[in-house]
């Protein structure tokens, strides 16, 4: 496998299946294993991904440690709540899965009416029938600049996480395209609330770029995480166009990216 993407006390580095979603899941798992990742974040992109879907073989190649709940086409699952319940049922069935990232329901009036269950929910793990090991987190989405007199969206999201008994997935590129200082933003997130980090670069409104291809201070960001002693998941989440068509070269790119991430985290831990 090469070097483990998990230093002593350091955060496990996961590969998002979305990085290579055009490839068969078994091949994505093999690529992630060869590149030395500690596991996979599985994207729930089909209602066919159920506890009966035969994911045990995938899990043997590269452990599925985190799941990303559906973020579009919720009607295919019978609604937003049912899509989260289906994701939880699958996580319950996977022995090494212990985390689920979820996009908060949209704030438009139509979404609020359809998902009023979410507004009332105060304990999402209980509502979704999660086993005790499963943790949930809400992901920060790109934010437009709002009223200067309104509440900061990150403060509002962290309060929502506390209210619903979940953590936060901090998406670096989403914060960047929102025009926010990602270093200042991550400093505002209480370390006990941070369950996952979606890691990629951004410039302007272009997201999920290869680290170094955008304008975000990603090395300093990782050093901040290392210095704070962060030890939960970091998930590499890039567009498939970031990788060459050749499998061997894709593995080489992923090895380099993983090693660079580990180096910066270690530098922060030693600071």
The CATH number covering residue 195 comes to: 3.20.20.150
**Per-residue pLDDT for 109 more than 60?**
no
Tens-place pLDDT, residues 48-85: 999 999 899 999 999 999 999 998 888 899 988 999 99
d(CA 159, CA 211) in angstroms, rounded, equals 30
Look at 18-22, 106-110, 206-210 and tell me which has the smallest mean pLDDT: 106-110
Classify 106 as helix, strand or coil. Answer: coil
Counted domains in the chain: 1
Q: What is the pLDDT of residue 117?
A: 86
Q: What is the pLDDT of residue 152?
A: 85
Look at 59-63, 74-78, 137-141, 203-207 and tell me which has the smallest mean pLDDT: 74-78
Is 4 domain-assigned?
Answer: no
Nearest to 156 by CA among 189, 197, 198: 189
Question: 7 or 26: which carries more pLDDT confidence?
Answer: 26
Average pLDDT over residues 157-175: 96
Question: 143 or 77: which carries more pLDDT confidence?
Answer: 77
Which domain, by its residues, includes 147? Answer: 13-270
Is 5 domain-assigned?
Answer: no
pLDDT band at 10 (very low <50, low <70, confident <90, very high): confident
d(CA 163, CA 180) in angstroms, rounded, equals 24
Average pLDDT over residues 211-234: 97
Longest CA span, the chain: 52
Please state, rounded to an integer, the average pLDDT across all residues of the chain. 91
């Amino acid at each position: 496998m090469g070097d483990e993407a998990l230093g002593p006390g350091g955060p496990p580095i996961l590969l998002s299946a979305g990085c290579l979603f055009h490839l068969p899941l078994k091949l994505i798992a093999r690529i992630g294993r060869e590149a030395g990742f500690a596991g996979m974040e599985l994207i729930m992109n089909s209602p066919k991904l159920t506890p009966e879907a035969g994911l045990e073989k995938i899990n043997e190649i590269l452990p599925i440690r985190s799941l990303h709940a559906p973020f579009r086409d919720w009607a295919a699952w019978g609604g937003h709540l049912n899509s989260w319940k289906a994701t939880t049922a699958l996580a319950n069935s996977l022995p090494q899965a212990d985390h689920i990232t979820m996009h908060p329901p949209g704030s438009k009036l139509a979404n609020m009416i359809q998902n009023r269950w979410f507004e009332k929910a105060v304990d999402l793990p209980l509502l979704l029938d999660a086993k005790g090991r499963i943790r949930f987190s809400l992901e920060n989405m790109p934010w437009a600049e709002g009223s200067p007199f309104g509440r900061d969206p990150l403060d509002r999201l962290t309060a929502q996480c506390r209210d619903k008994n979940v953590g936060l997935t901090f998406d670096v590129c989403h914060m960047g395209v929102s025009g926010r200082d990602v270093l200042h933003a991550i400093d505002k997130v209480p370390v006990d609330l941070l369950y996952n980090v979606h890691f990629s670069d951004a410039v302007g409104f272009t997201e999920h770029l290869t680290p170094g291809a955008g304008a975000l201070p990603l090395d300093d960001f990782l050093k901040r995480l290392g210095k704070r002693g962060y030890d939960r998941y970091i998930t590499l989440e890039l567009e498939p166009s970031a990788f060459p068509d050749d499998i061997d070269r894709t593995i080489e790119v992923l090895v380099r990216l993983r090693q660079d991430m580990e180096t910066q985290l270690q530098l922060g831990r030693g600071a």
